[in-house]
Structure 1
């Protein structure tokens, strides 16, 4: 899947700005065109992950030409397509096998139990929230 992006050319003193018209509020920038496009990929990934975690739907990419004619405010900007890995949109549950020392597994199960969650649910929530739990005193 590829999302169209509008890129505002930078100068010696300003960054290259990027807007993703299909994803409201999704934007980024970079000191070079290449950096701007890399930052756009990261911004799209972050936007999609937040939307999925919030239960929102993900808009499909619009045809590039449709956006070019629908957004005269981007006249003079460069248009490009940024590839998005469709796997990041996949909510299919997958069984995994991990190896942990017993003491770590015991600690993990204890934290999950105190949070009222299963081991898998606890691990998933920690990954989604992007932080480790604070150890109880």
Structure 2
């Protein structure tokens, strides 16, 4: 399905469940052939510090669902582009070398500059 509008997602709050939901939506869109980009703003940048985990992982595994780290790995394998806010990294005190591989640092302006007129933008 060439030419589909891209899905652009901003995770604006540092909550693992929001990133989990954003990854699920992004992976579903990628499975349908849409280009997907996810940007973690502010303190949410810390969610992609390696190794990835969040407080809901145990309950999800007990329910037979994947944990957050698995979703991140799978999203990367599906070519979902993951970005973290440079200012957010400074705010939470992490360096680019501490991020999950394939995650890129970016600014909000540069992220939004790539959103086309027909593209979709969702904020979690």
TM-score of the superposition, structure 2-length normalised? 0.29
Bigger Rg, which one? 1
Query: Which structure has the higher relative contact order (CA within 8 Å, separation 6+)?
Result: 2
TM-score normalised by the chain length of structure 1: 0.27
